[in-house]
Chain A
Amino acid sequence: DVKVTQSSRYLVKRTGEKVFLECVQDMDHENMFWYRQDPGLGLRLIYFSYDVKMKEKGDIPEGYSVSREKKERFSLILESASTNQTSMYLCASSGSAYEQYFGPGTRLTVT
Chain B
Amino acid sequence: SQQGEEDPQALSIQEGENATMNCSYKTSINNLQWYRQNSGRGLVHLILIRSNEREKHSGRLRVTLDTSKKSSSLLITASRAADTASYFCATDGVDSSYKLIFGSGTRLLVRP
A residues with a Cβ closer than 8 A to B are 4, 31, 33, 35, 40-43, 45, 48, 50, 58-59, 90, 92, 94, 98-105, 107
Whether the pair B103, A42 counts as a contact (CB closer than 8 A) is yes
Contact of A42 among B98, B99, B105 (CB under 8 A): B105
Q: Contacts A42-B104, A42-B105: A102 and B99 contacting too (C-beta < 8 A)?
A: no
Alpha-carbon distance between A11 and B53 when the two chains are bound, in angstroms: 43
Q: Contacts A59-B1, A98-B48, A99-B48: A42 and B102 contacting too (C-beta < 8 A)?
A: yes
Whether the pair A98, B31 counts as a contact (CB closer than 8 A) is yes
Whether the pair B42, A105 counts as a contact (CB closer than 8 A) is yes
Number of A-B residue pairs, CB cutoff 8 Å, is 53
B78 near A: Cβ within 8 Å?
A: no
Q: Contacts A43-B88, A104-B42, A105-B40: A98 and B98 contacting too (C-beta < 8 A)?
A: yes
Whether the pair B31, A105 counts as a contact (CB closer than 8 A) is no
Alpha-carbon distance between A21 and B105 when the two chains are bound, in angstroms: 25
Contact pattern, B 29-68, Cβ under 8 Å of A = 1, otherwise 0: 0010101000011111100100000000000000000000
Minimum C-beta distance from B31 to chain A (A): 6
Minimum C-beta distance from A47 to chain B (A): 11
